[in-house]
Amino acid sequence: MSSSAAPARTPFRVKADSIEACSCRHGCNCQFEGFPNEGLCEFIIGWEITEGRFGDVTLDGVRAVLVAKYPGAIHEGHGHVVLFVDENAAAEQVDAIATILSGRLGGMPWEALAGTIERFEGPFRKPVQFTRDAERSRVVVTGAVELQLTPFVNAVTGAQKEVHITYPQGGFFWNDGRIATTDMMRASYGDFALEWPHRYAATAPVIWTNQ
């Protein structure tokens, strides 16, 4: 290798379950026209890694939560982001998650999102609860984040409805999202705060890799 060649990147591949909610109304206009319903974008996304490696570091079972506020659409930038990683994660696992989400080593969607972030805080180590239960999934960061999903119901029969948004050729965050709404969606940490109950929510499997 010549001295001018680019340094090798640490390879990573992560499979995780994702639970998310945002300030948009049901469906999330960003999914269709690229701009949020309310003119701003505020969201919570939690993950539990089912299978993952960052170089020689195993990431199986690690839980993390990202909360973010953008004054406009995400692609317009100026984002304020706070990252929490479960306190049970080892130091090298925390570092790996923070590095992946920074986008510095490539890999979508984080490589694209990196340039939209103006202020990044964390990772902060706190207890993270992650309950995977389809439209009743839940994410809690003790003292900072509470997200509780609830299903849609048929207005006539009261029966629970299953709704999906799918991207047959691949989506930005995920390919097949199971859509719900929220009973509770709030975050507060330092000067960061958001609260948007009864808005868009989704669960989905995700894959991140820079290979």
Q: Which of 66, 100, 76 is nearest to 189 (CA)?
A: 66
DSSP letters for 46-68: EEEEEEEEETTEE-TT-EEEEEE
DSSP letters for 110-176: HHHHGGGEEEEEEEEEE-EEEE--GGG-EEEETTTEEEEEE-EE-TTT--EE-EEEE-TT--SS-SE
Average pLDDT over residues 11-37: 93
Q: What is the pLDDT of residue 6?
A: 43
How many CA atoms does the CB half-sphere of 173 hold within 13 Å? Answer: 19
Choice between 109 and 27, residue whose per-residue pLDDT is larger: 109
Reading the block at residue 46, the tokens are 């939690």
Q: What is the pLDDT of residue 31?
A: 87
Summarised one tens digit per residue, pLDDT across range 175-201 is: 999 999 999 999 999 999 999 999 999
Summarised one tens digit per residue, pLDDT across range 158-173 is: 899 999 999 999 999 9
Residue 33 banded pLDDT, cuts 50, 70, 90: confident
Question: Among residues of the chain, what percentage have pLDDT more than 90?
Answer: 89
Asked whether residue 2 carries a pLDDT value surpassing 50, the answer given is: no
- pTM flag (> 0.75): yes
Reading the block at residue 174, the tokens are 């995920």
Helix then strand then coil, in percent of the chain rounded to 5, is: 15, 50, 40
Summarised one tens digit per residue, pLDDT across range 43-93 is: 999 999 999 999 999 999 999 999 999 999 999 999 999 999 999 999 999
Summarised one tens digit per residue, pLDDT across range 85-116 is: 999 999 999 999 999 999 999 999 999 999 99
